Structures are given as structure tokens and as C-alpha cells.
Chain A
Amino acid sequence: MTLHTPSTAAELAAIVTDARAAKTPLAVAGGGTRAGLGRPVQAAATLSTARLSGITLYEPAELVIAAKAGTPLREVTETLAARGQRLPFEPMDHRAIYGATGEPTVGGIAAANVSGPARINLGAARDSMIGLKFVNGLGEDVKSGGRVMKNVTGLDLVKALAGSHGTLAVFHEVCFKVLPVAEGERTLVITGLPIAKAVAALSAALGSPFEPTGAAHVPASGNEAARTLIRIEGFAASLAYRTDALAKLLAPFGAVSVIDGDEGRALWAGIRDAALFAGTDEAVWRISAPPSAAPALAERLAPLAPRMLMDWGGGLVWAGVSAEGDAGAKPIHAAAKAAGGYATLIRAPETVRGAVDVFAPPAGPAMALQQRIKASFDPDGILNPGRMYRGM
């Protein structure tokens, strides 16, 4: 298979233009750590952003950083950390569940709208993305947004493209707004709660004035008791005060213990990365639904999914099911829909991903709108054809 590795936007545009003229679709790749996400793409060539690399702008006092799409995420996070800053959305590292090597890239994070536990308070990748430069399926080099935090000039193509999985455009530069790293963080833990009580406790915490940046539940498994986790961040005096206030608020649900330091950070990294499923051979589903639907959803999934993990106050449910057959696609899509949400098959053998709905198709006329969007960026279906939806 041909591998294209452009090092400038102009080269990138030329490659897409040529591919369109030759009617040969391109598979789009960043660091390759999320290659297992999505339906298999049939393409004659791969277009890698690896050589489009480097931070192009960093203004700590303006809370803004921009980097070329192939820049390793690590380079961005380390640059930010050196000035006490971070990406607000705490992007998940998919290497744990895919057993992948390589380095996640800035473009990959943007293309998959990769977020983590902090999303519940600080938004998803799409909420921090303020500017994007990209080449569409016509080989045109286009920009949207910019480098300032508030910008409503013209249509917001940045959000339309966040999470488009390389099917609308190939990004070559992404600009994010960033936040200071909090002085400290603490995690409050309640053990032994059944799911319904856990979600109620998380809801109480998220409905408090104490601004949790993490609200997760790890159900009981084997000898391990269930753990309900609430993370708060801030300066020392604030953390002490909020810990006490939250412990009082949560007292009806059970005794609260506190974790901080490296232990807390490792705990949340595990939740962020769905590390529960690292190294296993289950298929892994990600279900996004209203938090209050989580208990009923979990009950319905239980016969299929022996192991689950909940984040975002119950609004994100990870479920591990047998990878046999259709990996539970029909009942899981149905359960997600009944809960008022939708499911995505994050990990499964390629044969399964080629056969089932990996991404839930939006209902009825919403799908027609999706097709119109696709056609207005990539009318000839050159970029990552079929990655999200069959024939699109």
C-alpha cells in the first residue's frame, strides 16, 4: 500500500487533489494509536500526518496553543505542563485498550473528539478547539476559527469537523484554548454502592456548588467492592473546604474516604483510558446517554456485559461484552436508544467492525443531514470512506 507523508499543507492538498482525480480513496492516519476505532476503510493509499509536526503558537498568558496535526500529544502536554497549564478535556489515551504502540497526535485527538473524565465540567475536545486548518476532499486548503477564545465569525466548521474521524477533511493544524493546572486535586470515595445509589450520589455531587471535575463509578467485580469517585480541584484552602462540604452532602450515601496525590492521578488515568478493558479480548462499547438512565441501562446490559465502568456522572457507560458474533450490536444499540442515548463499538475484531453499526446512525432525517454535510466537504468520498457509516 502506498504511504503518503506530506510535510507541508501544500503537499497535503496536492496528494488529496491527485487522489480525487484518480478516484483512489485515502485512509487518513495520525499516530495510528486509534486505528482500531471505526469501520475498516478500503483504500489504496494511506495519508499520514506524521511529518506535519511542531507547535506553531503558544501564548501562556492568552491560554492558547496551536500545533500541526501530526505533533505528538505528548509534546503539547509537556510544553503546557512546563508553564503550569493543560488541555482542559483530559484526552483519553486509547493505547491501553488497543494495546497500540506509537504516539497519539494532536490531529487524532481533534478528529476523534477525544475527551476524558473532566469533560463533565470542562467540556470535550470540541469545546476547547478554537481553530482548525484542513484540506477537504476537494483538495482545498481551508481554515475556520482562529486563535482567539471568542469567535462567531461565519459558520463554525471547527465543531462540525471535531469527531468527524477523517471522513470530511484532513486536519493540518489545530488550535486549542487551555487552562491552568489546578494547584491540587482530591478524590472522594464511597465504597459498596449499587449502581442506582451511585448515580444518585454522583448527581448530588454534580448538582452541588463544588464543581467536580470527575464523577465516576466502578461497579463491584469479584472481590473488589464498588467504588463511587468524585474529583474536585482547586487551591489548598478550597480543597479542604470543599472536601468537608461534599462529605457532608454525601453522608446519606455512605462514609467518604479521600484519595489524593499520585494515587488519585493514577486512578483517574485508569478511568480516562477505560483501562479496565486493557489486555482482555472482550468487545468494548461506549454508551453516551442521560446520567439518570444509567441504572436501567446497566440492568438491561448486565446479561451481556459482565464488566462495566461509568463516567460523567453515569452519562458515559463502558461495557465489555463477548466479541463473538455481532458483539451484541443489536441489543446494545437498542438499549442505548431506549436510554435516550447512543452506542459506539470502540473495540472489536475487524470482521465484526466491518459487519455491524460501529457508530450508531442518527435517526431518519438526521442521517440525511449527515450525508449532506459529508457531500459538502468530500463529495467524491475520497477521505476515509466507510469509516463511520457504510457507503459514506
Chain B
Amino acid sequence: MAIAFPAPRADVLAKRDRVIAALKAIVPGEGVITEENERRAFETDALTSYRRIPMVVVLPETTEQVAAIMALCHAEGVPVVARGAGTSLCGGSIPQEDAVVLGVAKMNRVLDVNFSDRTMRVQAGITNLAISGEVAHAGFFYAPDPSSQLACTIAGNVAMNSGGAHCLKYGVTANNILGLKLVTVEGEIVEIGGGALDAPGYDLIGLLVGSEGQLGVVTEVTVRILRQAEGARPVLFGFREIAAAGKTVADIIGAGIIPVAIEYMDREAIHICEAFAKAGYPLDVEAMLIIEVEGSDAEMDAMLARIVEIARRHDVAVVKESKSAMETAAIWKGRKSAFGATGRVADYICMDGTIPTGRLPEVLEGIDRIVKGYGLRVANVFHAGDGNLHPLVMFNVNDPAEQVKAEHAGEDILRLCVAVGGCLTGEHGVGIEKRDLMREQFTEVDLLQQTRIKTALDPKWILNPAKVFPLDAPRDEAPRAAA
């Protein structure tokens, strides 16, 4: 195993019975899970090659219970791993043997919908898709749409600052959150923001979104909801050459056109997804773009005419417009099931680096070279408009040597992303997976500024331990006192 877990602390394990008794006093009934076979359901997330059975699992139903749990764990010095639906691809919610898993899945109610202000207040355990489902009857939706949206919770989206295929136009989670109810590590309940577009003081929402459970536990979220476009139409563009697809993307954006989504799939990904979704993807091309536009029919016709003209300049081989809602659904099903469909043909690790879009052709060549160098295969699916890459490096999980090779290939790909001016992760988060690569992107001083904030809000470092920061990351001994 390449990624190290800290050894469970004996002093924490020794408190297990006392902690369980105290948790049962806070959360009555079946909300405290102690049996090993039941705890096992929480041992990993979507980074399934790593797993640890937690000491105990607690599933609170109210913010007050969360606050009492945090106060208890802080006083006892017991690590807490907050968990939404456990769909993290970077191991962001993998527990450890001396940790309490605090699952928010039972807190999944809609608290308020306000169409006048276009906001909605929900409990943190609601799924991403259920938020949109609640307001779809009125023609509204919640914009960020990670591929796991059927299962993933808004709690996890907030923790990871999740994106999705449509964030080219609508932004990521951080751009769509107006308020949070936060439980601090000490168990204090803090309301931040709400129905207004901004909140007083430093931007705590901006800091908390994407903080991967390092700074507190969020129990309620106020999101922006938006009116759906009149229509949406994805178009498939197949290219015989990879570089032509990249140039098409650059020229569309250079021409002042911002589609809702520009998704890229390479030959391997096209074949895998088509076999799964029967979406009508072209099979005899090297690269495919799914470009979606929105608006009235006439508006979409006009915008697509310009996009098609640009694609033709780059010798596009296939142009295929969706002609029905069913075709549209199939096209997106194919793309959004890319991870699951790949999982049917091989085990894989999914990388998530972002690059400057102008470097796309050379990075694609580099990925190919790296993966072939390890004797492995890769399927590439990207959010091409914003340079967020998802190379799926395939391997056989029953062959430990091949798993190590795949992890090394993934690390080399991320180093390449950083070297060309990009970053380690565009939307999945650091978790445990990329923790040890943080120094590729950050200096010691950069890391120290981040760990100072961590220490300020979690002085004992009990929240989601051994994630995000290298285990030997520089940190102050104690929080800095205000002057």
C-alpha cells in the first residue's frame, strides 16, 4: 500500500466503551453503530482500494446532536470523520480504526424553498439530485452536477467544492452556496450567511467550501436555485485527430462562445461508455466532444451553427445533434456513467488534475506516454472547457504490482498537470489520495499558512485526520493568539 495511515492511538481505542456510551446518550435508538459487520459498511468510499473499519459510527438526526457529538469527541480527543454518502473518489471520507464516523445521511430534509429569492435551505444529508428534484416542478434546479449526483450529498459537495459537467457556465459548489450552519470542533453551532448574496466579515463560506471536513461539520446549507433554460441540446462532434478536438475547444472559447458544457472523451472512453449506455456515440473516431447549448430552439440553432462552423474548420468527422429528450438523456448517461462503465471492464484510478486548456494536446500525449510506460491502459474523459482532466488509469486490483504501477502512473500524470501550470485536483479533492503530492504544488510556507488555519479551527487536529496535508506538513504547535 502506497498511502500510509497513522497507527491507531491506543489511548483513543482504550476509551471506546466510554465514547460509545456517551454517544448512545446523545443519539438514542439505532443511531449508534457498534457491531463490526455493520461498521464495515463505512470502511471506505469510492477509493475502494483503501479501507479501515472505524471505531464506531454515529448517525445523528439534529444539529444539536452533532454539536453534542463534537463537544464529546473534542473533549476526549477522539478523531471524527464526517461522512455524506461516501462517494469520494480521493478517499476523503475513509475512516481510521480510532475514529468516530459521523454520518449526516439521516439529516436529509428540505427546510425551506424560496422562489422569490431563488434560494433553498436543506439539511446537509440530502442528495444533490434531490435538491433539484424538490424544485423541478417549478422549473428550477441546483446547478452543480457531479456525476455521482444521484447518491452524493450536499454535505459532501460542500466539503469537496464539487463541480460537474455544467460548471463551465454555472460555476462550482462555492459559487452556488449562500449560507451554512456549521458545528465547530468544540461543538458550537454557528450560522454563516443565509438568504443574502454575501455575509459580513471574512468569507468563511468561501473558506469552508472545499475544506474537506478539516474545519468543522456542516449540518445545513442554503443554496442558490436557478431557473432552468427553455431547452438544452447536446451535440456530438467526432474527430479523427485528438489535436483537432483541442483546437476546436480553444477556437469556440476564443470566438466568445461559452457553451454550458464541453466534454471530451477519447477512443477508449467512447467505446467503454457506448457499450454501457448505447448513446449513439461515433466509434470510428479518436476523440469526441459533447457540447451542450441552452436556450430557446432558435437561440440554440444560432449558437450551434457557429460552433459547427468552427468544428468544420478543424475537419470534424461526425456531427450528431440530439433530436429528442431521450437522445439527450442517453448522451449524458453515457458521459456521466464513464466511471461506472469503466469499472465494468477494469479496476481503475481516476485522476482529476486541471491544466491550462492551451496545453491540452501536449498533456494528452504526455498521459499516453506515461501510462504506456507502465504497460497500462487509460481512458480519458475531460471537462475540456475548463481544463479539468479525468484520466482513468486501468489496472487489475488482484495484481498488487499492477496497482502500484497504476498509482505511480497517476502520480506522474498529476506532476505533469502541475508542471504545465495546472493543479492536482479540479473537483474531487485531495483526500488521502493526493495528500502526499501536495508539495508538488505548494511550498512549505504555502502549506504552513493552510495548516495555521487548520490549527486555528481544529487545535487538536481531530477532524478528518491524515487527509489533505502531508503527514509531516509544517504546522504550529498551537493556535496563534490574536494580538
Binding site for B on A (CB under 8 A): 59-64, 84-85, 113, 119-120, 123-124, 126-127, 136, 140-144, 146-160, 162-164, 168, 179-181, 183, 200, 203, 206-209, 234-235, 237-238, 241, 245, 288-293, 312, 315-316, 340-342, 344, 359-367, 369-381, 385, 388-389, 392
Whether B117 and A142, one on each chain, are in contact in the complex, defined by CB atoms closer than 8 angstroms, is: no
Q: Say whether, besides A156-B210, A209-B228, A241-B299, A150 and B196 are in contact (CB < 8 Å).
A: no
Whether B429 and A152, one on each chain, are in contact in the complex, defined by CB atoms closer than 8 angstroms, is: yes
Binding site for A on B (CB under 8 A): 114-119, 139-140, 160-161, 163, 167, 171-172, 174-175, 184, 188-192, 194-207, 209-211, 214-215, 227-230, 250-251, 253-254, 256-258, 295-296, 298-299, 302-303, 354-358, 383, 386-388, 421-430, 434, 438, 441-443, 445-450, 452-457, 468, 479-483
Contact among A151, A159, A207 for B115, CB-based, below 8 A: A207
Contact among B206, B355, B424, B480 for A153, CB-based, below 8 A: B424
Whether B201 and A379, one on each chain, are in contact in the complex, defined by CB atoms closer than 8 angstroms, is: no
Nearest residue, chain A, Cβ from B209:
A156
**What are 19 residue pairs bridging A and B, where the CB atoms are less than 8 Å apart in the complex?**
A60-B254, A61-B253, A127-B171, A148-B387, A149-B354, A152-B427, A152-B428, A153-B442, A157-B449, A200-B116, A290-B196, A312-B197, A315-B196, A340-B194, A366-B191, A369-B457, A375-B456, A376-B449, A377-B449
CA distance A344 to B196 in the complex (A): 14
Whether B387 and A142, one on each chain, are in contact in the complex, defined by CB atoms closer than 8 angstroms, is: no
Whether A369 and B190, one on each chain, are in contact in the complex, defined by CB atoms closer than 8 angstroms, is: yes
Whether B117 and A152, one on each chain, are in contact in the complex, defined by CB atoms closer than 8 angstroms, is: no
Whether B207 and A237, one on each chain, are in contact in the complex, defined by CB atoms closer than 8 angstroms, is: no
Q: Say whether, besides A209-B227, A340-B194, A291 and B116 are in contact (CB < 8 Å).
A: yes
For the complex with contacts A152-B210, A160-B206, 9 further pairs of A-B residues with Cβ separation under 8 Å are A59-B358, A62-B357, A150-B167, A207-B140, A208-B227, A209-B227, A315-B196, A366-B204, A376-B479
CA distance A235 to B447 in the complex (A): 45
Whether B302 and A238, one on each chain, are in contact in the complex, defined by CB atoms closer than 8 angstroms, is: yes
Residues in B neighbouring A209, C-beta threshold 8 A: 139, 227-230, 295
Contact among A234, A288, A372 for B456, CB-based, below 8 A: A372
CA distance A111 to B205 in the complex (A): 17
Contact among B161, B205, B295, B482 for A375, CB-based, below 8 A: B482
Of the candidates B250, B445, B483, the one having the most CB atoms from chain A within 10 angstroms of its own CB is: B483
Contact among B115, B175, B425, B456 for A152, CB-based, below 8 A: B425
Residues in B neighbouring A208, C-beta threshold 8 A: 227
Residues in B neighbouring A363, C-beta threshold 8 A: 191
How far apart are B146's CB and chain A's nearest CB, in angstroms?
Answer: 12
Residues in B neighbouring A127, C-beta threshold 8 A: 171, 174-175
Whether A124 and B197, one on each chain, are in contact in the complex, defined by CB atoms closer than 8 angstroms, is: yes
Whether B190 and A365, one on each chain, are in contact in the complex, defined by CB atoms closer than 8 angstroms, is: yes
Whether A153 and B195, one on each chain, are in contact in the complex, defined by CB atoms closer than 8 angstroms, is: no
Q: Say whether, besides A149-B354, A370-B202, A142 and B161 are in contact (CB < 8 Å).
A: no
Contact among B116, B198, B229 for A288, CB-based, below 8 A: B198
Residues in A neighbouring B456, C-beta threshold 8 A: 372-373, 375-376
CA distance A63 to B169 in the complex (A): 13
Contact among B211, B227, B422 for A146, CB-based, below 8 A: B422
How far apart are A151's CB and chain B's nearest CB, in angstroms?
Answer: 4
Whether A359 and B356, one on each chain, are in contact in the complex, defined by CB atoms closer than 8 angstroms, is: no
Whether A149 and B453, one on each chain, are in contact in the complex, defined by CB atoms closer than 8 angstroms, is: no
Whether A124 and B198, one on each chain, are in contact in the complex, defined by CB atoms closer than 8 angstroms, is: yes
CA distance A150 to B210 in the complex (A): 12
